[in-house]
Every structure is written in C-alpha cells, then in structure tokens.
Structure 1
Amino acid sequence: MRKEGAELIFFIVVIHTLRLYETSLSQVPNFPEYVVVGVLNDLEIMRCDSETKRTEPKQEWMNRVTEDDPMFWFWTTQLCVNYLQKRKGNIENIKQLLNQTEGAHIWQGMCGCDWDDETDDITGYVQFAFDGEDFISLDPSTESWVAAKSEAVFTKMRWERSGQIQRYKHYIHKVCNVGLKNFVRYGEKTLRRTGEKRHTCKIKTASSNKGPSQLL
C-alpha cells in the first residue's frame, strides 16, 4: 500500500555577481586619490588606481580575457584614467554643494550586475555615497535617479539631463552582462573551489488528493 505524504523538492539556483567598487578621496594622505576594484562572486579579479594608472588582473585566469577582447586591458585602463579625472570633479562639486570644502572627504560608488544562470536574467544596480552616507542611486525600473538626501537633488537633475542613465543602462545590459558571463567561464575552476552564491528554493509537494504544490 502506498504511503501518502509530503515530498520535498530542492532547486539550486546559482547567482553570479560582478561589481565595480570605486573610491575617490580628497585630502586623505598616504592613500591613492582614486581606486577601482572589480569583484566577481566576492573574489577580486582586477584593479586600477591613480598611482599605477593601469588596470591589472588580480587572478591568473583573468589574462584569458584577451582571447575574447585583445584590447580589454587597454580600454579598461583608459576608462580608469578618465574616471579618475571625472570623480575628482564629482567630489569637488559635492563639497561645494554641501559647503564642506575643508578636511578629508570620500566618494564611493558601486555598480554591477547579477546573473541568474538558470533563467539568464540580469539585474543591475548603481549606487553612490558621500562620506559614508547614501547619496544617489539609479532605479532601473523607472529609469531615474533617486536622491537619498535633499542635497543630492541637484546632482539628480544634472545627471538626468546629461544622459547618464542611458550610459549606465548600456553598461549593465551590454558590458557587465557579457563580461560577467565571460569571467565566470575563465574562472570556473576557481569559483567552484571558493564557492558560488547559491539560493535554494524548497517546494513542498502535497499528496495527489490534497491540492497543488505550495512554496514554503
């Protein structure tokens, strides 16, 4: 006789992440003025700063990137140098805006994307902070900048006029999307050893006479 009861089914979904962390410093001695670090699944994979002015791989397998893009290290270095100057302008503008022109200040940015390798969905995010407090972020669903404080409203209006949203959308869905998938392929063995971001979905399936499955 068949014993009826609930059956548990587990689905494991792997979420891969690629994030760029920027730090721009003003009047902070003994540290680079600008640093950007690329992080894949919590593993540092590349870095550039205002002292080296060169993007360099932090994992041996990242040298494979030139198989798909021979100019990768060149154009990422150019971006680093360009953003070094751009972030200097950002931090000076905000210091003036907040009337905080003296002392040490820090501007931080984080942009990147998450990839669900089961559904192939890409989720992007762009966030900035000033002196350790949220300042402004991008809401991809409404395609608008969200000011975290009243002092950021001017920056929000200026960035929306300048087309920053379209540039970041292109980065998320083209540059980050393609780069993330390629980097996962290059570092597949290392990522398996260090662990991936796994999300477990548990479904409770009732016996046939007790209705449909339930998501716990």
Structure 2
Amino acid sequence: MKAVHVLLLFCQVASSVRHHLKYFLSASSGLQTFPEFVAFSMVDDIQGGYCDSRRERPELKQDWIKKLIQDYPHLLEWYGQECVRYQHIYRANIDILKQQMNQTGGVHIFQRVHGCEWDDETGEVNAFNQFGYNGEDFIALDPKTMTWIAAKPQAVIIKHKWDKDVIYLEAKRIFNTQGCPERLNTYLEYLKGFLSRTELPSVSLLQKTPSSPVSCHASGFYPDRATLIWRKDGEELHEDVELGEILPNHDGTFQTSADLNVSSVPPEDWRRYDCVFHLSGVKDDVVTKLDKAEIRTNWEKPSDEIVLISAVVVVLLLVFITAAAAAVGFIFYKKKKVQRPPSPPDSSSELSEKLNPET
C-alpha cells in the first residue's frame, strides 16, 4: 500500500511540460505615437526578436537569440526582409477591412498570432493561426480540418477564398506539423542555457527629497526568485518598509525596490540600516549600507537627477507598454531534440494571408 502511494505521488509530480513558439504581428492606423507595424516572437513567454516600422533592422532582445544569430547570421537578414514585407501587406489589410465595414477615421488594429505548442513528453503538437481586428476575433485556421473559421460575418467571403487555396493550406500543414516544432526545439536548445543562468543586480539608493523614503532599487537580476529587504542591526524590518513588486526589464532581467521611511531615523543611526538583496540559489547576498553619500537624488546634484529620472522612466515605460497593449486590443491566445539549424521556411509556408488573394 505504501509503495502504491509513493508511485501515485511520483506520477503526480512527473508531469509533462508544454513549450510554445508564438509570433505576434500587429498593424494599426490612427495611432500617432505607436508604430504602424509591430512584430515579435515568444518562446515559452520569453521574447526573442522584435521589429517595427520605425526600425531598419530587427532587434534581438535576449542573449540566447543573439547567440543563435551568431551561429546562423543569414537569419537576421531574412527576418529583416520579412518585417518590411509584412508591413505593406498588413497596412493594406486594414484598408480592405475598413472598406468592407464602411469605416473611415479612428483607430483600427489588425493582428495575427500563429505558431505551435509542443508537449515534451507525448510529442503532441497543437498549431494555431488566428487573426483579430479591433480587439476581436476575425478569422482562424482549424489545424485539424485545415479549414478557416469565420468569427465575423465580414470574414465569410475571405474564408471561402482561403479554403480554396490548397497550395497554402498544404504548406501550412507541413509547417504546423514539422517546421514549427523543429524550429521550437532548436530555440529551446539555445534557451536552456539562458534560463539556467543567474545574474546579480546593480543596487542603488534613491530619494526624491530629504523627507521622502529612501528607495533601495535592484535592477538586472535573473531569475525572478529573489527578495529585497531592509535590516536594522542585522534584523529584518517590517515597519516603515514598503516592498515593491518584481517587474520585468526589456532585456529579460528583473527589477524590484524596497522603500524605507527615514523621517524618524536620527542621522547617527543611519549606519545601523542596510538593504539586502537575496537571489535564490546564490550563497552571497548583495548588501548596501544606508549612507547619505551613496543616495542618488534629484534635489542635490544635476547628474544624480538624470540617474533617478532614468529609474523612474523604466517603471513608467513598463506601465505605458502594458496600457498601450490593452488599448490596441492585443490578444494573447493561450491555447526530441533536433540537431539542425533553424532555416527560414519556404515563402509559401509563411504567406501573409492577404485579404484579397486574387489581386
């Protein structure tokens, strides 16, 4: 009986892991402060490459994708060409949809997410290829029947046209079942080392005014299993301390902060306080003494003001990006080792699905 219990416990723990590769593409009109076209890739929710209509070349967001491009430099040029090509096609698609729906001005968003999900235990692959317009589902490909599903009445005509494109459907079937999972496995090999790394942060003491709390700001650490606390005489403080959330940086690392109210702390007692950063799996902590000479502020030195404002801007940008994504209706659809280079797919397997394929 005991052996059966242990076996059941093992079965519960040893669950499979689902990995996914997703490509997000979005075109917009009527947004003056936002690029007209944006595209980026995600592997297990970790961003790889990024491009938009305001950049001449794709941007490599993480070290793992930079390493992959070093090994296969032709991919960077190919993705750059694809980014430019998709810009024109997706802008045209917005114009077509606006005409079909009798729309003129205002903000309009055309989006696509496609890729695949792979179970590392069963080998099962689930592909997806979905389009949205103005924050709502528009049309999607059923990977089992290889037919299009119209989510809007305006998409029915497009569905009938795309269902007849047997060349594209066959190419997409091959990409869904072979190309996408093979590419995902290759990316996972490069991602493995990236995920197993540990990076300690740079820690700064920030203060807006002499009466403001002192913020201990740690940025650039990985992974996000970390703590940041204030201590007095070696004992952790809970009163007069406000802990911040762990937030992502643009480069895949993380940042966090802990504020200490020093209004009631006599100057001679400051040396009794320190800020302690602990990263899971790392033996030595990063300890920063509470020292007025080390505080960066915007009320004393102009050069320090730049540093403080930069730290605040990082947080504001994260908030803005989140808000902007929600405003334009971004829809994040949640739905064995291969030793081969991630070659670009044939152009027929990555068609842009023009809304007027006959022209």
Contact 1:135 1:148 in 2 (8 A): yes
Alignment map for 1:173-192 (pairs within 5 Å): 173-192=177-196
Give the structure 1 partner of residue 169 of structure 2. 165
SS at match of 1:187: helix
- Taking the aligned partners of 2:53 and 2:172, their CA distance within structure 1 comes to 23
Alignment map for 1:1-216 (pairs within 5 Å): 8=8, 9-10=11-12, 11-66=14-69, 69-162=72-165, 163-192=167-196
- Taking the aligned partners of 2:175 and 2:129, their CA distance within structure 1 comes to 10
- Taking the aligned partners of 1:120 and 1:75, their CA distance within structure 2 comes to 29
Contact 1:25 1:104 in 2 (8 A): yes
Cα offset, 1:54, TM superposition: 2.1
Cα offset, 1:130, TM superposition: 0.4
- Taking the aligned partners of 2:76 and 2:147, their CA distance within structure 1 comes to 31
- Taking the aligned partners of 2:84 and 2:174, their CA distance within structure 1 comes to 20
Counterpart of 1:79 in structure 2: which amino acid?
E
1:122-146 superposed Cα distances (whole Å, 9 cap, x missing partner): 2110111100111000001111010
Cα offset, 1:68, TM superposition: 5.5
Specify which structure has the higher proportion of strand: 1
1:38-94 superposed Cα distances (whole Å, 9 cap, x missing partner): 011111111011111422211112122246633111111111111111111111111
- Taking the aligned partners of 1:134 and 1:126, their CA distance within structure 2 comes to 11
Contact 1:98 1:151 in 2 (8 A): yes
Larger-gyration structure (1/2): 2
SS at match of 2:103: coil
Considering Cα pairs closer than 8 Å and 6+ residues apart, tell me whether 1 or 2 has the greater RCO. Answer: 1
SS at match of 1:91: helix
Give the structure 2 partner of residue 199 of structure 1. none
Cα offset, 1:37, TM superposition: 1.0
Question: TM-score under structure 1 normalisation?
Answer: 0.81
Cα offset, 1:173, TM superposition: 3.1
More divergent stretch after superposition (3-12 vs 143-152): 3-12
SS at match of 2:15: strand
1:166–1:86 Cα change, 3 Å:
farther
1:185–1:98 Cα change, 3 Å:
same
Contact 1:53 1:80 in 2 (8 A): no
More divergent stretch after superposition (90-99 vs 166-175): 166-175
Structure 1 stretches of 4+ with a deviation exceeding 6 A read 2-5
SS at match of 1:13: coil
1:4–1:115 Cα change, 3 Å:
closer
**Structure 1: runs of 5 or more not aligned:** 196-216
Q: Percent identity, please.
A: 35
More divergent stretch after superposition (163-172 vs 27-36): 163-172
Counterpart of 1:181 in structure 2: which amino acid?
N
Query: Could you say what the CA RMSD is over the residues aligned between the two structures, in angstroms?
Result: 2.2
Cα offset, 1:108, TM superposition: 1.2
Contact 1:56 1:73 in 2 (8 A): no
SS at match of 1:54: coil
Contact 1:17 1:41 in 2 (8 A): yes
